[in-house]
Amino acid sequence: MEGPVRFALEGNVLRPGVEVLVHDTVIVSAASYREAQETVGILRSSGMGRDSLAIVGAELVLTERPRISTARLAAKNAGTGLAAGLLAAVFVTLVADTNLSGLAVLLWGAVYGVLVGGLIGLFRGLIHNRPDAVFTDLLPARYEVRATAADASVARALLDRQNTSTPESQDPGLSNAA
């Protein structure tokens, strides 16, 4: 066998000379992304290159995202409006010449900010929570740490060495894929 075929995509044409790495060998299957990241961290600290490892979501599941209530969205945006109104009021007291005292300008800025922010949140909530709107996400049920075929045996050996040196730190969410 000659080794990996080297090509690069230039426009819609493959150009010879550049290696395309395919992460086709599953090293570890993890229950969470954090566990998969920890495994990649162990392999990287043991000397494996970044380009030879990949974390891939597996067993994708279509889930419905919970809706945020209209009241909660209005309250959240009212808080944001309060902050924006106070910033605008501070700017007005520093720059503009008004007949009002600085405290009155800050108070009116806060009031207008809460009103505008609350109305924006209310309208956003009414639009987002209409009966025909469905919010879905495509989420993986598990994560796989994959490596190129050439580096798979090295990665497994490094993980086996790590697991035999510290057996009590073995995470139950990780399973070696053979």
Model confidence pLDDT, tens digit, residues 98-145: 787 878 888 988 999 999 999 999 888 888 777 666 778 888 999 999
110: closest CA among 94, 76, 87, 93?
A: 87
State residue 1's pLDDT score.
40
The residue ranges of the chain whose pLDDT is under 70 are: 1-22, 131-133, 166-178
State residue 177's pLDDT score.
59
Domains in the chain, ordered, with CATH?
Answer: 20-65+136-176 (3.30.70), 70-128 (no CATH)
State residue 3's pLDDT score.
47
Direct distance between the N- and C-terminal alpha carbons of the chain, in angstroms, rounded to an integer: 23
**What one-character-per-residue DSSP string does 132-161 give?**
T---EEEEEEEEEEEE-TTTHHHHHHHHHH
50: closest CA among 142, 155, 140, 144?
A: 155
